[in-house]
Chain A
Amino acid sequence: MRKKKSLCAYAIPIILSLLILSGCGEEVPNTDIATFYKDSEASGTFQYNTKAGIDMSAKVKITGYLIGERLPGMNDVLEKLNEKLLNDINTTMEINYIRWGDLQSKYALVLASGEDLDWIFTGNWAYYGQEAAKGAFLEIKQDMVRKYMPRHYKATNPQAWKEGLIGGKLFMIPTSTPDIKVNEVAIREDLRQKYNVPEVNKWLDIEPYLEAIKKNEPDMIPISVDSAIDITRPFFYQLAATSKSYFDLFFATSGGSGIVSDTDDPEGKLFKITDPEVINDYKNAAYKIKDWYDKGYINKNAFSNKVRSMDSFLSGKSSIAYGNTVDMQNIFNKVNEQGWKVKIIPGLSKKGTYPQDSHINNGFAIVSKSKNPERTMMAMDLIMEEPEYNQLVYYGIEGKNYVIKNGKIALPDGVTSETNTFPPDLAGFWFVNKNLLKCPENWNDEYIQLREAAKKQIAPYAYSAFVPDISNIKTEVSNLNQVVVQYFNPINLGMIKDVDEAFDVFDERLTSAGFDKVMEEMKHQTDEYKKELMK
């Protein structure tokens, strides 16, 4: 068996970049998504008392899987959780973890093995589509949700239920609060001032800053990206800023396909990257990036670099940190220690937008072999939507893992973020209703402003929640993914000798990997999907 051991040893998968966490008691902005897709009515009376009409005489134990590490404080939290669950719905829960490094190899196995299991964390980035297609998950019907998860049903935008549809069927319970975030980039404002570079307010202003850093700071690399997460970012920031924010249709689910659409296009017209309508946008970005690469603005060996741009930035090695609204919190927390000034600018499309996250980014699915789907839903309803539960699974035990100071979450005296046995965000309950959570105390005004700004920048994207069904095109999808990695990633980094030639080769490889078949299938599926959402 030794041969099979190797995959992804010690590596945190790329998907990390897709999972983004945290929010707290904020109003969800009223975007025009509801008007774009006609709002369906979420009517019916809610059963606030879950005990009504449901037989709960039998004591039931349910088992679930989350993604992440089992925290040292988890046992205490579980004990408390079970106390409450037992009291409320005569149920106890056991929670296992699939660790980050093992996700890729273990997620599918756990589901395939027929283990005694009731629910599992899922999301479009966490193999929701792939596993639903294999029949791993129980189909969720609206009336089930209404009956067993009344709180969650009420809290969730009706849109969410449609987003999770695969071939007209729903297999997961999406979160009620998708994260609000846009791409951001942090620059060293102190250095910018020092070298008299004109102010940087948007991505397109960045070039003089990079030039100044290159010229004056011999020990710094203007942009240093890593091989897993930031690798394509310089290119896509540039592409979006100069033209449109093109997203690969398979971006969230399985990597790359070469099928892209403009996220601002409500119709979501699909293109091949090398189609005449879009290729010039791509080439222009590629010329610029290649120019930067050749001038030494971008690190030369990104494919082998494991250090993320944010870490290089914070250690003073590079002058740019890629991130998003949510993880920029790190920057604020840390630069104060350095005595630097930092400015954060968003990485938006030319139009000034960024595609909104979908509800199915985080959620859970009931495993098709579960013996207790009803009780599972009831327990999860409490965990997701009942503030006491919610706070417990997210922040731990009051007094031990957190205290409430001025209505905000703070660490108890004598506990530091390193000694806290249940640090927030790490336990894996990312699908809870974050609007019910209290905000952490350490958020500063600047950060709060950033979050406010992001709310205005996000815009609906026709396929934010589209999950392709690849059962008939597995072969082609696998091969396209590999072609994108081999032939498109070097373009993204400017590592090629000749841009035009590289695109020609890329186009050729896409075609021979079966692009047309996938495109045809995707056109069909996206049409169906849009129709479904319109219903």
Chain B
Amino acid sequence: MVILKKTADYIALNIISYIVVSLFAIFTVAPFLILIMNSFTSEHYILNHGFSLLPKELSVDAYSMIFAYPEKMLRAYGVTIFITLVGTVISLFLSSMAAYVMFRKEIKYRNTLAFFIFFTTLFNGGLAPYYIIVSNTLHLQDNLLVLLLVPMFSAMNILILRNFIKGSIPDSLIESAKIDGAGDFRIFIQMVLPLSKAALASIGLFTALGYWNDWWTPMMFMQNDKLFPLQYVLYQILSSANMASSMVNYVSRLDMPKETLKLAMTVVSAGPIVFLYPFVQKYFVKGVTIGAVKG
């Protein structure tokens, strides 16, 4: 009886889930497919007819414009991949460490610390002082470090991590580890990190995306074009395409891609990182039971 009942509601829930999730997935993937298709359409067609649902007047103009200087793009991918990897690892490690500290009951000031971090999301001094401190006090201009540091920590990610750790690690576990003689740092490395895989994976994903999509930091603090990350190079290409077409003596060809360029840029920048996600999903596995680690 029990088994039969379970199957019925199980099936019902699965059917609903399949339908809803499918609809939502279509709703999100369709624009992206249309986007890819139109990025391969000629500028002329788009200016005349708008986006189309079926391929018309195929053209790779937008892409050939982006890859006009392949070595520049290659370098930009390199810079972006480097800062994304290094930045995410450092950020994730230090963030989760801070989150762990704020989770520990022994810390009397844990809520004060959380407030200390949260407060920065409420108040900020605006752009001018930030710019002055980063560029004139810290002299981080034109330094690869600035690309790593500016997007490194997000108050939100740290507080979410704390919350996840709180939810997945019972105090008793920490207590017993302490009785076994484990130090605070060891508990973090050997217990908290392995038990928070799903949380680390999701926050790590957000951090990586933050690094990957960051064009603001280079815009503000970079002049050296050898250190430009991908997003900023793309941003530059678009901005010069717009500019060049208003320049008199710059005789560009008739069909200078601008609308399609925006679309192609999305494809070029999203392309590689889209593949990161399935990798992250590996850590989203049900069935982490505390008991397993305890033993």
Do A and B come together as binding partners?
A: yes
Q: Tell me which residues across on chain B come within 8 A of A5, comparing CB atoms.
A: 216
Does residue B220 face the partner (Cβ distance < 8 Å to A)?
yes
Interface residues of A in 293-328 (CB under 8 A from B): 306-307, 311-312, 314-317, 326-327
Q: Pick the contact of A112 from B128, B254, B258 — CB < 8 Å? A: B128
Residue of A9, A326, A425 ringed by the most chain B CB atoms within 10 A: A425
Q: Which residue of A lies closest to B120 (CB)?
A: A1
Q: How far apart are the CA atoms of A368 and B246 in the complex, in Å?
A: 33
Q: How far apart are the CA atoms of A22 and B246 in the complex, in Å?
A: 11
Q: Which residue of A lies closest to B126 (CB)?
A: A4
Does residue B292 face the partner (Cβ distance < 8 Å to A)?
no
- Sorting the interface of chain A by its residue count into under 10, 10 to 19, 20 to 34 or 35 or more gives 35 or more
Does residue A374 face the partner (Cβ distance < 8 Å to B)?
no
CB–CB B135/A417 < 8 A: no
Does residue A21 face the partner (Cβ distance < 8 Å to B)?
yes
Does residue A37 face the partner (Cβ distance < 8 Å to B)?
no
Q: Tell me which residues across on chain B come within 8 A of A9, comparing CB atoms.
A: 215, 235
Does residue B252 face the partner (Cβ distance < 8 Å to A)?
yes
Given A5-B216, A21-B247, A311 and B235 contact (CB-CB distance below 8 Å) = no
Q: Tell me which residues across on chain A come within 8 A of B126, comparing CB atoms.
A: 4
CB–CB B132/A425 < 8 A: no
Q: Which residue of A lies closest to B127 (CB)?
A: A4
CB–CB A417/B243 < 8 A: no
* Interface residues of B, dominant DSSP: helix
CB–CB B127/A425 < 8 A: no
Total A-B contacts with CB atoms under 8 angstroms apart: 126
Q: Which of B28-36, B43-51, B98-106 contacts A (4 or more CB under 8 A)?
A: B43-51
Q: How far apart are the CA atoms of A511 and B108 in the complex, in Å?
A: 58
Q: Tell me which residues across on chain A come within 8 A of B223, comparing CB atoms.
A: 70, 96-97
Does residue B245 face the partner (Cβ distance < 8 Å to A)?
yes
Q: Tell me which residues across on chain B come within 8 A of A1, comparing CB atoms.
A: 124, 130, 150, 216
Would you list 25 pairs from A and B whose C-beta atoms are within 8 A, ordered by A residue?
A: A1-B130, A4-B127, A4-B130, A10-B235, A10-B238, A16-B246, A68-B243, A69-B240, A99-B236, A109-B128, A113-B131, A311-B47, A311-B258, A315-B43, A317-B47, A326-B248, A333-B251, A418-B252, A423-B249, A424-B247, A424-B250, A425-B248, A426-B250, A442-B249, A442-B251
Residue ranges of A at the interface with B (Cβ–Cβ < 8 Å): 1-5, 9-10, 12, 16, 21-22, 68-70, 72, 96-97, 99-102, 105-106, 108-109, 112-115, 219, 306-307, 311-312, 314-317, 326-327, 329-330, 333-334, 337-338, 417-418, 423-426, 440, 442
Per CB-CB distance, the 9 closest pairs between chain A and chain B, nearest first, are: A315-B47, A424-B249, A5-B216, A425-B247, A329-B248, A417-B251, A22-B248, A423-B250, A101-B239
**8 additional A-B residue pairs with CB within 8 Å, beyond A102-B219, A115-B135, A426-B243:** A10-B239, A109-B131, A112-B131, A314-B254, A315-B254, A326-B248, A330-B248, A333-B251
